[in-house]
Amino acid sequence: KMGFSDRNLTAIKEIAAKPYGIILCVGPTGSGKTTTLHSVLGFINTPDIKIWTAEDPVEITQYGLRQVQVQPKINFTFAAAMRAFLRADPDVIMVGEMRDKETAEIGIEASLTGHLVMSTLHTNSAVETVTRLLDMGCDSFSFADAMLGVLAQRLTRRICKDCKEQYVATPEEYEEIRQGYGPEHWDKLGIPQDNTFRLARGKGCETCNRTGFKGRVALHELLLGSDKIKRLIQTKARTEDMVKAAIEDGMTTLMQDGVQKALQGHTTFKEVKAVAIK
């Protein structure tokens, strides 16, 4: 399940099953973008679907995928690979990264001509990705038409299962979490500040080398290409307006997803703060 919330998991499965459009997975290096895309490919990978991937390098191999490694030294770039793929009648194309305008434009074009395109980008949040692509020089109308979803992702340390303990949070911790989540959204959850408000922490044991953490948990922020969001992209709306509209549509920001995972006892709020801004 990869740590997706129910809403995000359902939405990802829905958009991955679409016949064409573009899905982007964004975040810094080492935040599990490739792993997530491969797990989505694994979900739709059936013998009757032709999936081509261009990667640099090929990190994960999967049965049934046609995987190609790009070689920029001989001008076999992501853009060149995509052009070659389009001549091979693909159903799905996965490109390792949209590094430049050329790759982004071919990706958007391919997704508008009946192919499902997946790729990654180095941006901080789902909404910032849209701004970034438009800044690169991509056409706002084409991207709005093509976009199925943008998934921002981060990895935080998971509390060790062997030495996890619950404790009653202090009023200061409660307030810090409330502010981090956004007071107006937090108050709708109706979580009281009393003895029932508990958080988890790792005491430290042999299993986790006395750190209190073992393994990792992913935080997600999924911006879906709803009609409202598409209209905002076409008019090149401000980032804040897009975030507001997305939250109204049911999006949880990275910070909100992190807080929910801290409340479920998977990680601590301190770990979430280290990777998510808002």
Backbone angles phi, psi at 219, to 5 degrees: -110, 140
The distance from CA 190 to its chain's CA centroid, rounded to whole angstroms, is 27
Residues 200-254: pLDDT tens digits?
999 999 999 999 999 999 999 999 999 999 999 999 999 999 999 999 999 999 9
For residue 93, pLDDT over 80 is answered with: yes
| Beta carbons within 10 angstroms of residue 146's beta carbon | 23
What is the structure's pLDDT at 196?
A: 87
Q: What does the mean pLDDT of the chain come to?
A: 95
Q: How confident is the model at residue 44 (pLDDT cuts 50, 70, 90)?
A: very high
Taking CA atoms, 96 is separated from 26, 27, 53, 80, 257, in Å, by 11, 13, 8, 13, 26
Residues 169-206: pLDDT tens digits?
999 999 999 999 999 999 998 898 888 899 999 999 99
- Whole-number Å distance between alpha carbons of 14 and 242: 22
Asked if 18 and 148 count as a contact pair (C-beta separation under 8 A), the reply is yes
For 158, the token pair is: 């998971």
- Whole-number Å distance between alpha carbons of 215 and 193: 30
* Percent of the chain topping pLDDT 70: 100
Residues 118-173: pLDDT tens digits?
999 999 999 999 999 999 999 999 999 999 999 999 999 999 999 999 999 999 99
Q: CB within 8 A of 15, min separation 6: which ones?
A: 21, 23, 148, 149, 224
For 142, the token pair is: 């084409």
What is the structure's pLDDT at 92?
A: 98
What is the structure's pLDDT at 1?
A: 60
The distance from CA 278 to its chain's CA centroid, rounded to whole angstroms, is 15
Averaged pLDDT for residues 259-267: 95
For residue 58, pLDDT over 70 is answered with: yes
For 268, the token pair is: 């601590």
R_g over Cα of the chain: 20
Taking CA atoms, 61 is separated from 29, 81, 93, in Å, by 19, 18, 15
- Whole-number Å distance between alpha carbons of 245 and 229: 7
Q: Hey, which residues does 203 pair with through a beta bridge? A: none
Which candidate, 263, 256, 119, 255, places its Cα nearest to that of 200? 263
In the chain, the domains with their CATH numbers are: 6-155+218-251 (3.40.50.300)
